[in-house]
Amino acid sequence: MPKYFSIILKWLSFLSMAMGALTGKTDHLFLDLDVDQVANGTAGSWIRAPWGESYVSAVRESRYGDAVWARYHMDGRAKGNIIEADNTTVTEELLDDAMGYRVGNPDLYKAVATRYNTTSSNDGHRDVVDIILGVLAENLHALEKRDTTYSIKCSSANLAPRSECYDLLEYMHEYRTDLGSARDGIVTY
Ligand SMILES: *[C@@H]1O[C@H](CO)[C@@H](O)[C@H](O)[C@H]1NC(C)=O
Ligand SMILES: *[C@@H]1O[C@H](CO)[C@@H](O)[C@H](O)[C@H]1NC(C)=O
Ligand SMILES: *[C@@H]1O[C@H](CO)[C@@H](O)[C@H](O)[C@H]1NC(C)=O
């Protein structure tokens, strides 16, 4: 009896995994926010309308390009494709992130990109999926070489105490180390 029971349980968990894939679940890369939490408002008060709702409906309808596009607009920094505060564009930031994710976890990146490739024909941002697939097609070793690090300069032009500037440098170093270990521990399919 217990043996059959465990077989049934295995089947059920397999089924729920398959269902999850079919109903368009989130991942640990571009679509990192839990859809139910975004939908019920518990994912954070930083999420700007209407992007939370767009994210939820796009993920649920397997419109992955729309979902990633919404994700990059949720914090309110981007207007259209422009992120003025950082003098950059959503497309550029996406490309940077994509290269970082691919180098950090090639297997997970491949699984995610392959899934986005099956995006709904109603996806309004197939271009976003194509950018992500483009990075998958690039040579991994070449990407590893160009994986950039950012530097900051402590200069008299910035109105902050020198000590805070050094604190920031210290913090960035720790953050980078944490990020490295977090990437190693990332959940895979
Ligand atoms: C929101 O959704 C999450 C994930 O399903 C759940 O754990 C949480 O209890 C929900 N919170 C509210 C207030 O509904
Ligand atoms: C914004 O970015 C462009 C292109 O990368 C650069 O040429 C320009 O100098 C930057 N402007 C500012 C204010 O940083
Ligand atoms: C994406 O889908 C197209 C069409 O189905 C297929 O030819 C291509 O190999 C797929 N690419 C990836 C990386 O899955």
Would you say residue 16 lies in a domain?
no
- The count of C-alpha atoms lying within 13 angstroms of the C-alpha of 184, restricted to the half-sphere facing its C-beta, is 5
Is the pLDDT at 182 greater than 50? The verdict is: no
The pLDDT tens digits for 15-66 are 444 444 444 579 999 999 999 999 999 999 999 999 999 999 999 999 999 9
Higher pLDDT, 55 or 147: 55
DSSP 48: P
User: What's the CA gap between 133 and 109, in Å, rounded?
Assistant: 10
Give the pLDDT confidence score for residue 13 in this predicted structure.
Answer: 45
> What band does 163 get if pLDDT is binned at 50, 70 and 90?
low
Q: Is residue 6 one of the residues assigned to a domain?
A: no
* Co-location of 48 and 131 in the same domain: yes
Distance between CA atoms of 23 and 34, rounded to whole angstroms?
13
Residue 7 in domain: no
CA–CA separation, 77 vs 93, rounded Å?
A: 12
What does the pLDDT read at residue 25?
77
Residues 181, 106: one domain?
Answer: no
Is residue 140 located within the same domain as residue 153? Answer: no
Range of the domain at 178: 149-189
Task: Answer yes or no: is 109 within a domain.
Answer: yes
**What is the token pair recorded at 10?**
């295995």
143 and 168 housed in the same domain: no
- 159 has a pLDDT exceeding 60: no
Pair (128, 141) in one structural domain: yes
Task: Locate the ligand 3 atom nearest the alpha carbon of residue 133 and give its number.
Answer: 13
> What separation in Å is there between the alpha carbon of 26 and the centre of ligand 1?
16
Category of 80 on φ-ψ map: left (φ > 0), alpha (ψ -120 to 50) or beta: left
Domain membership flag for residue 3? no
Cα–Cα distance measured from residue 35 to residue 55, given in angstroms and rounded to the nearest whole number: 8
For a ligand 3 pocket test, name from 64, 116, 117 the mutation site with the most ligand atoms within 8 angstroms of its C-beta: 117
Are residues 185 and 119 part of one domain? no
pLDDT digit string, tens, across residues 89-146: 999 999 999 999 999 999 999 999 999 999 999 999 999 999 999 999 999 999 998 8
Q: Per the structure, how many domains does the chain have?
A: 2
Three-state SS sequence of 23-83: CCCCCCCCCCCCHHHHHCCCCCCCCCCCHHHHHHHHHHCCCHHHHHHHHHHCCCCCECCEE
What residue's CA is closest to ligand 1, atom 8? 37
* 82: pLDDT strictly greater than 90: yes
Whether pTM > 0.85 for this model: the answer is no
Counting from 1 in the atom list of ligand 1, the atom nearest the Cα of 34 is 4
- The residues with which 82 forms a beta bridge, in sequence order, are 79, 89
Phi, psi of 29 (to 5 degrees): -115, -100
Q: Which residues line ligand 1 (CB under 6 A)?
A: 34, 36-37, 40, 42
Q: Are residues 76 and 160 in the same domain?
A: no
> Mean of the pLDDT values across residues 74-100?
96
Looking at the fold, whether 31 and 121 belong to one and the same domain comes out as yes
